[in-house]
Amino acid sequence: MEPRIDKTFVKIWAWTVFKVTLLILLIMAPVAASDWPQFQKDEAHSGICLDDVPMKPHVLWSADLLRVDVTPIISSDRVYVLTGNGSLSALDKRTGKLRWQSQMKGWVFQTSTPACSGDRVFAATDSGILAAFNASSGRQLWSRNITNKRFEGPLTCSEGGIYLGEGSAYGQAAKRYFCFDEIGDELWNMTRNTTGYQWCGACAPGEYIIYGENDGHILSVDRHNGRLADELNLSDRSRLTFSRSDAGRIRASVSCHENFVYTTSESSNDNGYAWKIGINPSTGKFENRGWSSPVGFSTSTPAVGNGRVYLGTGEHGHSGEMVCLDDASGEEIWSYQLPAGVKASPALSQKGDQIRICFTTAKVNGSIFCLEDMGDKARLIWELNPPDDGYILSGVAISDGLVYFGTEGGQKYGRLYCLCEDPDEVKETALAENTKSKDWPQFHGGPEHAGASQSRALIINKTAWISNDLGAQPGSSVSLAEGRVFVNCVRALICLDQHTGKLLWKFPVEPAGDYAFGFTPIYHNGCIFFSADRSYCLNASDGSLIWSFRPPTGGRAVDGCPAADHGSVVVSDWDGHHYYCLNESTGKELWNFTVMGNAQSTPALAEGRAVFAGWNWGEGGKIYCAGLENGTEFWNLSTKSSPCCSAAVSNGVVYMTTFNFEGDGELLALSLQNGTVFWRKNVERTDSTPALAQGKVYLLRRCGWIQQPHHVLF
């Protein structure tokens, strides 16, 4: 929706679309929700994400690397993996293209999962090297030769600290657990006489870090000074009523959830336990709260979700299980038998109450599995045996619907795999999944214009169908509802079948001439509303006319689409300077609102209010908020540049841009309640409607001219 001067200017801008440069204004945390930047995703080792996983997996890409025995990590658009000879590689997460590779001193068997924090990636090798790299370029920032006792456990990054311990080399000896800062300076180390820290990564709840020892002890250490807050022997009956005399070794990382820590231990190929132990967040002291559960041999870090604890069991050369325990009692809810041990930690995909568990089996020519928790049992969703016969030791990482894992074939080869939804499955089901709750019925998704959908975006660029030349209006958006696509075609409104592109009906309209800009038809309560030479309401099923409305001023909407909610539909008349609220069923005018200048916005409707604007060329304008019920003005805000776009509303905040014909405009965040400006930022020339998701604002910027074909693609 572009600003207009006169009819000539209007014709030019009718062919205008935005070239894509994505401006992301971060309102919340710098780490994207879909990232998996360290072992088991985060400093809590939660192992759980909100991303989907494929239902029918397909190898999107694989990369030939030398021996992959660690779980890959993911940050932004890259996946990072440490390979057998100490090489750290960064690959494009969607294509597998190698972005950079940096070499550290390494022997042959890397089990220390790297970690990413901001613009840095940290990695440690079995040669005792700890190094930092620029995440974008791979340039080594620093390297430290720390120990001759190997690093075998994952790195943990938390609040500027990097935590890791010396491995199991040379048996019982003085072994250290370190804290370094991000510039490579050692802040402290905890030195103990122990067999070491093999796969024992630290979780970081609050002011303390928690990690286990091979000797069967769990330690709580002040993260700031390295002082020991508490030590717990899992066999100590004086401390735990649920202690075990045969607790054995801890060869798993610790995870934490709601003032409890979780880990596993093993004393033989057949015996071991899962543990839940209380932790006082103020003192770092362990408490006699929780349970121990006999699950068999386990080196798997538990993942907790929906009141359940998930972990793998089974040693190499033995059968295994994926086990689900009740978080309250530790009792087994179900177990799923597997042909090989599960030494790695499970990765959970959680959508509402639905949990899917992804994991690998530790064997030569092993597989990756996906189970769904069905309540009292697990259901196998899929098993995928990758196209090499390598051994699989590491777990998986999940990001944006993609699943990553690695294999190793001795000292000679290994591969990193990325799994996506099978292309045929995408074609058959992606559209069918777009139920009414996932429709796109109005401009920018809905009456609030948030621009976010619960539907899954396609991973593969595969066209389902292309319509014939319909004369579709360039710059106009389509709407989706009831399995149908509604298209502005200048001289007609056209309805197509969403799944096939077949023409279902056509409603001719009088062309709006120079005013035929990018209006979007909208769907609400079985009806289609759109503005051309006048505003129309059609039956969405057959395209029959229900009513039409011509503004008393004779003006016609320019760019501004209708918006409908709560039985009302709001339309505009551009140089008539009005917005009109109509009865959705009859088209009867309920109220009108006069604005200063041109009424161009598509009104945003939220919380019983309508937000729209008026503007004049070179004179700025005003943003208005009125009551949807009667049109009463609640507030207005004058702007120096032209508010000729549409607003987006979320959680009581209005986001709107202003267009500056001479330079940069602004993005404003306003209170829906009273118009208070929360913040404003200069942005390059744009009248894009912001999109809002997960505490972030997304905006297109810059403008250009390009002619578009008059087709609809799907």
User: Do residues 215 and 205 lie in contact, with contact meaning Cβ atoms separated by under 8 Å?
Assistant: no
Among the listed residues 176, 135, 132, 172, the one whose alpha carbon sits nearest the alpha carbon of residue 153: 176
Among 421, 453, 483, the domain boundary falls at: 421
**Residues 540-557: what's their mean pLDDT?**
91
CA 527, CA 525: separation in Å to the nearest integer?
6
**pLDDT higher than threshold 50 for residue 11:** no
- The 3-state secondary structure of 551-574 reads CCCCCCCCCCCCEEECCEEEEECE
pLDDT tens by residue, 656-698? 999 887 888 899 999 999 999 999 999 888 878 999 887 889 8
The sign of the dihedral angle between the CA atoms of 228, 234, 238, 240 is: positive
Say which CATH number the domain at 224 has: 2.130.10.10
What residues contact residue 167 under an 8 Å CB cut-off, 6+ apart?
126, 149, 150, 151, 152, 153, 196, 197, 198
For residue 668, the one-letter residue type is L
By percentage, how much of the chain surpasses pLDDT 70? 89
pTM value > 0.75: no
Residue 554 lies in a domain: yes
Number of H helices, E strands in the chain: 2, 57
Task: Give the single-character DSSP code of 68.
Answer: B
Give the integer Cα–Cα distance in Å for 604 and 586. 21
Quick one: pLDDT at residue 448? Answer: 93
Determine how β-strand 492-497 pairs with β-strand 173-181. unpaired
- Model confidence at 104: pLDDT above 50: yes
Asked if 131 and 89 sit in the same domain, the reply is yes
Give yes or no: residues 406 and 481 share one domain. no
Q: Based on the fold, state whether residues 11 and 80 are members of the same structural domain.
A: no
Q: Considering only CA atoms, which of 310, 315, 276 is closest in space to residue 296? A: 315
Confidence of residue 3 (pLDDT cuts 50, 70, 90): very low
Query: Could you tell me if residue 437 is inside a domain?
Result: no
d(CA 368, CA 347): 11
CA 711 to CA 714: how far, in whole Å? 10
On whether both 18 and 54 belong to a single domain, the answer is: no
**pLDDT at site 289:** 97
Residues 586 and 629 in one domain: yes
Residue 2 has pLDDT above 50, yes or no: no
Which two tokens mark 166? Answer: 């010396």
For the segment 2-11, the average pLDDT, to the nearest whole number, is: 36
Burial of 185 by CB count in 10 Å (0-12 exposed, 13-18 middle, 19+ buried)?
exposed
Instruction: Judge if 204 and 117 occupy the same domain.
Output: yes
Q: Residue 518 has what pLDDT?
A: 65
Compute the distance between CA of residue 691 and CA of residue 647 in angstroms, rounded to an integer.
Answer: 10
Average pLDDT over residues 293-319: 96
Rounded alpha-carbon distances, angstroms, from residue 691 to 2, 613, 698, 700 = 17, 18, 5, 9
Cβ distance 577 to 597 under 8 Å?
Answer: yes
Q: Of the candidates 405, 421, 437, which is a domain's last residue? A: 421
If residue 13 lies in a helix (H) or strand (E), which one and from where to where? helix 7-13
Own/partner pairs for 489-493, CB < 8 Å, 24+ apart?
489/710, 490/516, 493/521, 493/528, 493/530, 493/532, 493/536, 493/538, 493/543
Spatial distance between the Cα atoms of 102 and 117, rounded to a whole number of angstroms: 18
Q: Does the pLDDT at position 194 exceed 80?
A: yes
Residues 659 and 692 in one domain: yes
Higher-pLDDT residue of 496, 410 = 496
67 plus 205 within the same structural domain: yes
Question: Which pLDDT does position 205 carry in this prediction?
Answer: 87
Contact indicator for 181, 228 with CB cutoff of 8 Å: no
- State whether 15 and 53 are in the same domain: no
Residue 459: predicted pLDDT: 63
Spatial separation of the C-alpha atoms in residues 669 and 671, rounded to whole Å: 7
Residue 460 has pLDDT above 80, yes or no: no
Cβ 2 vs Cβ 688: under 8 Å: no
Confidence bin at 562 (pLDDT 50/70/90): very high
Residue 337: its H or E element:
strand 332-338
Whether 455 is in a domain gets the answer no
**In terms of domains, do 412 and 488 share one?**
no
CA–CA distance, 571 with 10 (Å, rounded to integer): 20
Domain that holds residue 534: 7-26+471-705
Q: Position 432: which residue type?
A: A
User: Are both 379 and 515 inside the same structural domain?
Assistant: no
* Residue 334 placed within a domain: yes
The answer as to whether 516 is a domain residue is yes
pLDDT in tens, 485-536: 999 988 899 999 998 999 999 999 887 655 556 678 999 999 999 988 889 9
Cβ 667 vs Cβ 659: under 8 Å: no
Residue 124 lies in a domain: yes
Q: Does the residue 384 lie in any domain?
A: yes
Percent of the chain with pLDDT over 90: 68
- Residue 51, pLDDT > 70, answer yes
More confident residue, 674 or 617: 674
**Hey, is 7 helix, strand or coil?**
helix
Q: Answer yes or no: do 15 and 86 share one domain.
A: no
Token pair in block for residue 496: 């197509």
Alpha-carbon distance of 141 to 132, in angstroms, equals 5
Domain's final residue, options 357, 391, 421? 421
Write the DSSP assignment of 233-289 as a string of letters: ETT-TTT-TT--TT--B--S--EE-SSEEEEEEESSSS-EEEEEEEE-TTT--EEEE
What is the pLDDT, as a whole number, of residue 424? Answer: 66
Asked if the structure places residue 37 within a domain, the reply is: no
Given a cut of 90, is residue 436 above it in pLDDT? no
Count of the separate structural domains present in the chain: 2
Distances in whole angstroms, Cα of residue 566 to Cα of each of 213, 483, 606: 61, 23, 10
Selected residue with higher pLDDT from 664 and 232: 232
Average confidence score pLDDT of the chain: 88
- 309, 301, 300, 355: which is closest to 328 by C-alpha? 309
Do the bridges between strand 402-409 and strand 397-399 make them parallel or antiparallel, or are there none, so unpaired?
A: antiparallel
